[in-house]
Amino acid sequence: MTSDAPELSKYVTLVSADGFEFVVLREAVLISSVIKGMLDPKSQFSEARTGRCNFAEISGVILEKVVEYCQYWYKFKETENVADMDIPVELCLELLQAADFLGLDRKVFPFGATANLSHFKRP
Amino acid sequence: MQPGKQNEFDVCWEKLREALRDIHTQNAGNLSFEQLYRYSYKIVLSKSGQLLYDRVKEFEETWFAEKVMPPISVLITKNLVSITLDGALGTSVVERRAMGERFLKVVRSSWEHHNMCMNMIADILMYLDRGYGQEHHRPSIYTATIGLFRDNILRGNLGATGSIYQVSNILNATIIDQINMEREGDVIDKALLRSCISMLEGLFETDKERESDRLYLTTFEPYFIQTSHEFYRAECERLLREADARAWLRQTQKRLAEETARCQTTISPLSERSITIVIEEELITKHLEEFLQLEGSGIRAMIDNDRVEDLKILYSLVSRVDDKVPVLRNALSVRVMELGNEIEKNLNNTDFSIVQGASAEESAADGEKTKTKPLNASAQLTAAAIKWVDDVLLLKDKFDRLWVTCFDRKAVIETALTRSFSEFINRFERASEFVSLFIDDNLKRGLKGKTEAEVDIVLDKAITLLKHLNAKDIFESYYQKHLARRLLHGKSESQDIEQEMISRMKRELGNNFTQKFEGMFRDMNTSRETTEQYRDHVRGLGQVDEKQIDLSISVLAGNNWPREIMSRATGSSAEPKVKATYPSQIQRLQDSFFEFYSKNRNGRILTWVGSAGTADIKCYFPKIPSKTSGALSRDRRYEINVSTYGMIVLMLFNDIKEDEWLSFEDIQATTNIPQPDLVNTLTSLSVIKQFRILLKKSQTKSAAKPGDQFTFNREFVSKTIKIKVPSVNAANRVENDEERKETDEKNLETRKHVADSVIVRIMKQRKELSHTQLVNEVIQVLSGRFKPEMSLIKGQIESLISREYIERDELPDGSPTDKYKYMA
């Protein structure tokens, strides 16, 4: 419907509350249903048009970890028996909140348990 | 709820409400998804999800009432309502179509707009479903808001126009109206219809969204089916009035294709089955028989004119409705019967013309009054038989061809065709005789110079017909008669083909059936050997004599040969046994042969059948002194081939004076030849000009009869040396009614014997049987030969009881049961 973005760029930018910008593979962050909704080319929201998503309530530290998770998921999505990602214990609570906000707390893709919060287990 | 919380909700909701409006007015470009999502996230986290849920619905309902419904209402004019739903006339099609399209377009655009907005709104309210809806088992916000379209628009009140209808009524009616326009040949906006239909497919009766609750299925389809019934009922009635089955077939076929295509392109594939059922009911089943009966284009015309294409379509249509195609099957059967009867009728009509044509030819070619009628009669019969067989086979070929090309080799149709063929063939009472005559004619002359393949075809034809005959026993007796004539008179074209014919019959009808025929062949072969041996024997005796009579003999075993031949010699029970008196030379020959024959076969009796044999006589006609030129002035020698009786008669004239006449009675007294045979013999020798070796005193064309006088024709002239005097069947023409009756009686008598033997054989084996069982078994055994009448079987059972072959079983108290017992 929005013909002003004929070719979707391969990367999008996620911006944290404290101004950190993360340029990420679009496909990787689509694991979040919320980010997917934001970037849906059919909607006319500003995120979809600009390719920038501002997260007013997520700090850079947490967003970095979220982005890392997205990349981790993307890299190994075809592989089995993937080792858990390393997560510092002090970030756990905030990460849980962010995951809830971004809709990362359930199986968005037919990806098995690895797309679950169990990734955030301590090593 | 705490005041602070309440405050926070209001702030967030206010933002969201503005966003909703912006989304509806397509001004969402500056809105931040993240921000809006965060508002709803917060509301849900603060446990106000329900409030948000209800507020959103409330907002949408207001929006519908204020912004969406008015433009739709405007388009629902009285006119649109009255022409689509009330069936009022008076508006032109173009106008109506434009009006309908305008309305449908507004519905479509408001639906598409709503759908798009609801997608966006559902996205930003994503957390509402996750954090509130699922926990409280509410339909997703998308489902709920989409459903609002159904409640507020499609089922919206049309109070403004004072109509009792809902928008959905008008929507359905308008779509149907457009479809009907297309059915009438107009071009419509298919994509527009398809969008409206897919809206109905996407909406459900309730927010539970059950598969069977699609509005398409609950409201549109029933209406669509009902109106289609009406449309096609009217169409079928119109087609029926036009009374052209070809048009009907093609229209129906076209409609089926159209509706199937329409389901794919315009409405929903879900309805494909239902709408084809409508066509099957309205256009095919309902008036099928009436269409088939149509004069000039119905099934009769299709068959008669080989309208293969029509029949193909017809078959494809009726087999959709009922796999057993009962109506088509019956119609075909009826037509086969009709055509079969026509063959019979034609035959009766043609018969006369042949008689006339033949006799006219005869008299034109030969001015002299000749006695040819009897010959004609049998030739005619043969011609009729051949015509009948050809016609029947032609008819069969035709239907076989139709069966292959049009009816997909359907088994039930084949059965029906076979049954009707059998029926009309067997209803024709001379069928058995004609089939046998057909074979007879072909074996006598028809197969001359034909290739093996052609012979094969003829034999196949004969067998095909034979298979249809019920009265195989009657066929058997005719075939026996004809075969006997061929064998004894050496008329058979080819021994190999005769054998082939019989071995085919054997294959089709079993060993029993051909036993007698094979016996006849055996007799002929043995006779040839016997003749050879006798000649050797005679040569061995050393009686070489110029005047020696050469004997070729056929010894026929009584059972294998037709009664007509045998009975004339042995005398049937009715007439006394007559023995012809042979001239002394012949008698000596007979005695000599009998002596030779009985040397090896003690106790056998030979009876001479004068009517069945032939003799070659060398005849000497002295020159007539008064004639000085021409054939008569010279001595003439001819070799004349006559029947054995003919020989006896001719030999009488060896010794008479020039102008001496012998009376019929004299001849009869001297020769002791049975009267009918004598009539034949004398007629053949004295009536036909080319073969007039004897002169009849009263020179008429009619057959010889008692009282006539005969003398030797000294002025006999023939162009050829060898003359074959044709046997004339003057006294005994083609079977007349009385003889036919006699033959029938004889047949009945034979059948009784056969039935007797079958009953006894069964009872002997089973010892005890109920009446029904016995009758069934008897029928089963007999059906290979003929179709037994119930009364015949019952009668024979009674007769066998009275002859004490079987007895009725009795209960202890002496009352009879329906069981029979075999009496040893």
Give pLDDT tens digits for A92-108. 888 888 988 998 865 44
Collapse the DSSP code of B813 into the 3-class scheme (helix H, G, I; strand E, B; otherwise coil) and give the result: coil
pLDDT tens digits for range B703-732: 777 778 888 877 777 778 787 777 666 444
B116/A42 CB distance under 8 A: yes
Domain region containing B800: 737-822
- pLDDT number for residue A18: 92
Query: Do residues B311 and B326 both lie within one domain?
Result: no
pLDDT at position B465 over 70? yes
pLDDT band at A2 (very low <50, low <70, confident <90, very high): very low
> CATH number, domain at B712?
3.30.230.130
B424 and B435 share one domain: no
CB-nearest partner of B29 from A49, A55, A56: A49
Residue of A nearest to B37 (CA): A34
Q: Do the domain assignments include residue B586?
A: no
Examine the domain organization and report whether B63 and B194 are in the same domain: yes
- As a whole number, mean pLDDT of residues B645-671 equals 80
Instruction: Mutation target for A interface from B21, B27, B33: give the one with most A CBs within 10 A.
Output: B33
Residue B591 CB-density burial (10 A; 0-12 exposed, 13-18 middle, 19+ buried): exposed
Min CA distance, A3 vs chain B (Å)?
A: 13
CATH number, domain with residue A89: 3.30.710.10
Per-residue pLDDT averaged across B309-318, rounded? Answer: 90
Whole-number pLDDT of residue A1:
42
B119 near A CB under 8 A: yes
pLDDT of residue B357: 39
B41 interfacial to chain A (CB closer than 8 Å): yes
Q: Do B31 and A46 touch (CB under 8 A)?
A: yes
Which domain range does residue A101 map to? 11-120
Tell which A residues from 93 to 112 touch B, by Cβ distance under 8 Å: 101, 103
Listed residues B155, B187, B213: the one ending a domain: B213
Q: Hey, are the CB atoms on A101 and B34 less than 8 Å from each other?
A: no
Backbone dihedral region of B707: left (phi > 0), alpha (psi from -120 to 50 degrees) or beta? left
For chain B, give the percent of residues with pLDDT over 90: 8
pLDDT, residue A121, reads: 39
Cα B265 from Cα B259, distance rounded (Å): 10
Is residue B406 domain-resident? Answer: yes
Asked if A45's CB is within 8 angstroms of B32's CB, the reply is yes
- A89 touching chain B per CB within 8 A: no
- CA gap B36, B28 in Å, rounded: 11
Single-letter amino acid code for the residue at B425: I
Q: Is-contact A55 A12, C-beta < 8 A?
A: no
Other CB atoms within 10 Å distance of the CB of residue B244: 17
Do residue B708 and residue B799 come from a single domain? no
Give the distance from residue A76's alpha carbon to the nearest chain B alpha carbon, in angstroms: 27
- Cβ–Cβ below 8 Å for B34 and A53: yes
Q: Are residues B253 and B373 in the same domain?
A: no
Q: B271 with B178, same domain?
A: no
Angle CA(B123)–CA(A59)–CA(A48) in degrees, nearest 5?
30
Least confident of A16-25, B506-515, B752-761: B506-515
- Kindly tell me the burial class for residue B1, based on how many C-beta atoms sit within 10 Å of its own C-beta (0-12, 13-18, 19 or more): exposed
User: pLDDT by residue (tens digit) across B38-80?
Assistant: 999 989 988 888 889 999 999 988 888 888 888 887 777 766 6
Report chain B residues whose CB lies below 8 A from the CB of A54. Answer: 32, 34
Last residue of a domain, which of B150, B182, B213? B213
What is the chain A residue with the closest CA to B27? A44
Contact B40, B121 (CB under 8 A): no
Residue B609 lies in a domain: no
- B370 and B412 housed in the same domain: yes
pLDDT classification of B194: cutoffs 50, 70, 90: very high
Range list of H helices, B204-287 = 215, 221-242, 245-265, 272-279
The predicted model gives A72-87 an average pLDDT of 80
Give the one of A43, A49, A55 whose C-beta lies nearest to B123's C-beta.
A43
**Confidence band, pLDDT 50/70/90 cuts, at residue A49:** confident
B592 occurs within a structural domain: no
Same domain, B410 and B345: yes
The answer to whether position A87 is within a domain reads: yes
Residues B238 and B295 in one domain: yes
Band of pLDDT at residue A5, cut at 50, 70 and 90? very low
Chain B residues in contact with A33 by the CB 8 A cut-off are 126
- Tell me if chain A has a CB within 8 Å of the CB of B776: no
**Quick one: B714 and B792 in the same domain?**
no
Residue A6 lies in a domain: no
Query: Are A43 and B32 within 8 A, CB to CB?
Result: no
Residue A5 included in any domain:
no
In a domain, A15, yes or no: yes
- Residue B791 belongs to domain with CATH number: 1.10.10.10
Please give the DSSP secondary-structure letter assigned to residue B560: G
Question: Does a structural domain hold residue B587?
Answer: no
Per the prediction, chain B carries an average pLDDT of 81
Q: Count of domains in chain B?
A: 6
- What pLDDT does residue B570 have? 44
Same domain flag for B374 and B473:
no
B768: which strand partners? Answer: B821
Residue among A33, A56, A103 whose CB faces B34 most closely: A56
By percentage, how much of chain B surpasses pLDDT 70? 87
**Cβ(B81)–Cβ(B163) below 8 Å:** yes
Q: Which residues 35-54 of A have a C-beta within 8 angstroms of B?
A: 37-38, 40, 42-49, 53-54
Q: What is the CATH number of the domain that holds B10?
A: 1.20.1310.10
Cβ neighbours of A103 in B, within 8 Å: 126-127, 130
Q: Does B35 touch chain A (CB under 8 A)?
A: yes
From A55-64, B56-65, B413-422, B616-625, the region with the lowest mean pLDDT: B616-625
Distance from CA of A73 to the nearest CA of B (A): 23
B28 contacts chain A (CB < 8 A)? yes
Domain contains B239: yes
* Cβ atoms of B644 and B632 closer than 8 Å: no
User: Worst-scoring range by mean pLDDT, A102-116, B68-82, B427-441, B551-565?
Assistant: A102-116
- B414 and B443 part of one domain: no
Domain count, chain A: 1
B11 found inside a domain: yes
pLDDT confidence band for B512 (50 / 70 / 90): confident
Interface-testing mutation among A45, A57, A108, with chain B (most B C-beta atoms within 10 A): A45
Mean pLDDT score, B535-547: 69
3-state secondary structure of B784: coil
Beta-carbon separation of A43 and B37 below 8 A = no
Nearest beta carbon to residue A33 from set B38, B124, B126: B126
Q: Which residues of B140-160 are buried (b: 16+ CB within 10 A; e: fewer)?
A: bbbbbbbbbbbebbbebebee
ipTM score of the complex? 0.84
Asked whether residue B219 is assigned to any structural domain, the reply reads no
CA distance A87 to chain B (A): 26
